[in-house]
Amino acid sequence: MSKKRVNVSRREFLIHSTTIGAGFALGMYIPLTGKTALAAEQTVTAEVPEVNAWVVIKPDDTVVIRIARSEMGQGTLTGLAQLVAEELECDWSKVTTEYPTPGQSLARERVWGSFSTGGSQGIRGSHAYVRKGGAVARQMLIEAAADAWGVDMEQCRAANSVITHVPSGRTTTYGKVAVDAADLIPPLEVELKDPKEWKLIGKPVKRLDTVDKLTGKQVFGADLQLPGMLNAAIKACPVFGGKLKSFDAAKVRTMPGVRTVVAVEDNAVAVVAETWWQANTALNALPVKWDTGPNAAVSSQTIAKMLDEGLGAKEASIGNEAGDAKKALKEAVKTVEATYAYPYQNHATMEPMNATALWTKERCEVWCPTQNGEAALQATAEAAGLSASRCEVYKIHLGGGFGRRGAFHDYVKQAVAIAKQVPGIPVKLLWSREEDMQHGHYHPITKARLVGGLDQNGDLVGMQVRISGQSILASVNPNWMSNGVDMFVFQGLMAEGDHAISYSVPNLSIDHAMRNPHVPPGFWRGVNINQNAIYMESFIDELAHAAGKDPLEFRQKLMSDNPKGRAVLDAVAEKAGWGKSAPEGVHRGLAVCKAFASYVAACAEVSVDGNGKLKMHRIVAATDPGYAVNPQQIEAQVEGSFVFGLSALLYGECTVAAGGVEQQNFDTYASMLIADMPKVEVIVMPSGGFWGGIGEPTIAVAAPAVLNAIFAATGKRIREFPLKNNDLRAV
């Protein structure tokens, strides 16, 4: 006999949800638009019952799967829906998705878990509990059908949104029993499928958001329109740490469409107008005076000196140490030394920062693209001066994130600060491209000095790596540091774990001399594996050539304790034809890395003509993420990550003058053209047993593979970036 949900006490529910692991809140429908936001506490209706927090089933068998993580082009929306649908045993052709709001998650004891979408955690950080969500909903639907038939639910099976009573052959659909299922207490225990039983996970199903994007139906933050909405353009002090001194609003107040001119926090000024073009035109005409402060004396040259000092400093934090590197290098038959440098880089999302806010004394609502709805809600509450329970954030698909819209919600706070000065009217703040370029949280700037020692056989016996440069955590969240050490700095170079070094070096020392200029660093797709993979993989290549050994064989010998890493390396070498003749003028380079728990490798084929013009012909890439939820999306992610990583290698550089970033738009901060892009061949080789990331790990190997191929083509080692600043003509 089934137990009805109506008898569940709050205490019982909390116990049940904790036991389940993810928690499945009961009896509440989640509105997802501003129009219905104040109706957030309405109960489940007979027409659209919520089976549990993850699954809503309509009478026509449409399955709405709730996704807490953010979609920014990476395919998380479809991948997470696949995980739920696999256990739910529903008809995939009738699946759709929606975002729950962070406010509702807060009210429901964070039933959907983390909203944060970064660090390649979208799927690997939530696969277990979202699958449980689907499995629990399936069990409840089967139980409801069994009750209606008066049979044992063990005699019933579910498949493709149809429930069958096996002995009699009777059937019913999910839509017909969903109302009754919504009344049941969820089971405390549920068994998830063995990967061998998966029918949907691992299949290249089509993305759920493609049609809306192709037809223009998909709304991004910059597209949002609300009744009576005003628009705002903003300008902050061009020097980080500077303040707003004064502005003359009278000079622009009578310009077309202008409603008001307001100070924002203590370092920015905004114009509010009927249209954004009117607001930005007036803002550019507004006389503003800034207090730039002492940071106005900082430049790229002074920052470089700071990092150079760090390379030779006595004090540094150890990130990975084995044996006695100093002794091994002293006794080595041959030593190799090199210094590399990596610049500031902007996220440069296609959609600039934006948020729309509606503030009253009683409530504040925000519509925005964000990688972390909960962090956006917190930022909203802080700026609004209201409790989080009196605020709400409505997530919108992102026109690019790459980490910029994850830990940093300065644009949300600004939008709310502006809306507070125009109460009761929705105001959309949209940054100009110039504002977006000059007020980012940039990929950290670093330098690295590497020294390696070889014995008489050409084997690597010792290595020292000194990294000098910024700590993201010191700026973003010092509480995440361990005794003053930012372990994120050592991504891809750690002794073990999700970001372990690929090689076994008997005597090793890797440390970090923290040097933090005033330019704010941030999480940038791949974070620190980008430069660390360049440093390590380029230098390993240098060592191989100094030893007179084949770069593949040199790496393989150092990877005896890393079979999964060697497997992806061997896969790209074999498919690319390493050891076989390449087309005339074409040369190859290798790279391998472990990051975000995944094993990745690449083999690049390039040519460089007599004028130093680089042509990237092909990159073969391999990734072992443990489990591959959607192979097609993985291939797209690898290709997309290569666009991002190679754009950074070729062109990505933010320089500093008079305390501010010099680059203002895409004319001075370029990205790859279609003509630049090499052919990418992706090998997806999941070995099972773990869940690795997809969107960030592969970005790391494209650049060093290309750099090593450039050396093979020209005899030149490029150690400072981007490539646009280098002469690639052969030695």
pLDDT of 475-515, one tens digit each? 999 999 999 999 999 999 999 999 999 999 999 999 999 99
Query: Among 43-57, 160-174, 210-224, which stretch is predicted with the lowest mean pLDDT?
Result: 43-57
Q: Name the token pair of 115.
A: 């909203």
Q: Which residues contact 483 (CB under 8 A, 6 or more apart)?
A: none
Per-residue pLDDT tens digits for 649-697: 999 999 999 999 999 999 999 999 999 999 999 999 999 999 999 989 9
Q: Which of 575, 673, 662, 587 is nearest to 620 (CA)?
A: 575
Cα–Cα distances (Å) from 413 to 185, 187, 416, in that order, read 41, 42, 5
Rounded percentage of the chain residues whose pLDDT exceeds 90: 93
Which amino acid belongs to residue 469? G
Residue 40 has pLDDT above 80, yes or no: no
Per-residue pLDDT tens digits for 392-429: 999 999 999 999 999 999 999 999 999 999 999 999 99
Residue 23 has pLDDT above 50, yes or no: no
Q: Are 77 and 67 in contact (CB under 8 A)?
A: yes
Which residue has better confidence, 66 or 44? Answer: 66
Predicted pLDDT of residue 45: 44
Mean pLDDT of 269-283: 98
Which amino acid belongs to residue 357? A
Place of tokens 């061998």: 196
Predicted pLDDT of residue 695: 87
Residues 643-665 as b or e (16 or more Cβ within 10 Å = b): bbbbbbbbbbbbebeebbbbbbe
Per-residue pLDDT tens digits for 321-354: 999 999 999 999 999 999 999 999 999 999 999 9
Torsion sign (Cα): 495, 498, 501, 506: positive
| Pairwise CA distance, residues 105 & 111, whole Å | 6
Q: Is 615 exposed, middle or buried (0-12, 13-18, 19+ CB in 10 A)?
A: middle
3-state secondary structure 303-357: HHHHHHHHHCCCCCEEEEEECCHHHHHHHCCEEEEEEEEECEECCCCCCCCEEEE
Residue 37 has pLDDT above 80, yes or no: no
Q: Which of 367, 313, 372 is nearest to 114 (CA)?
A: 372
Per-residue pLDDT tens digits for 375-384: 999 999 999 9
Residue 22 has pLDDT above 80, yes or no: no
| Structural domains present in the chain | 5-199 (3.30.365.10), 223-293+353-430 (3.30.365.10), 312-345+442-725 (3.30.365.10)
How much is the mean pLDDT over the chain?
93
Per-residue confidence band for 47, with pLDDT thresholds at 50, 70 and 90: low
Residue 6 has pLDDT above 60, yes or no: no
Q: Lay out the sheet containing 508-514: strands in order across.
A: 317-322, 508-514, 460-469, 446-454, 334-342
Which amino acid belongs to residue 495? A
Predicted pLDDT of residue 49: 79
Q: How far apart are the first and last CA of the chain?
A: 82
Per-residue pLDDT tens digits for 67-116: 999 999 999 999 999 999 999 999 999 999 999 999 999 999 999 999 99
Q: What is the DSSP string of 528-568?
A: THHHHHHHHHHHHHHHHHHTT--HHHHHHHTTTT-HHHHHH
Q: Are 298 and 248 in contact (CB under 8 A)?
A: no
Q: Is 35 helix (H, G, I), strand (E, B) or coil?
A: helix
Residue 14 has pLDDT above 80, yes or no: no
Which residue has better confidence, 14 or 260? Answer: 260
Task: For the chain, give percent helix, strand, coil, nearest 5.
Answer: 35, 25, 40
Q: How many residues are recorded in the chain?
A: 731
Per-residue pLDDT tens digits for 608-653: 999 999 999 999 999 999 999 999 999 999 999 999 999 999 999 9
Per-residue pLDDT tens digits for 534-580: 999 999 999 999 999 999 999 999 999 999 999 999 999 999 999 99
- DSSP label at 138? H
Residue 36 has pLDDT above 90, yes or no: no
Predicted pLDDT of residue 65: 98
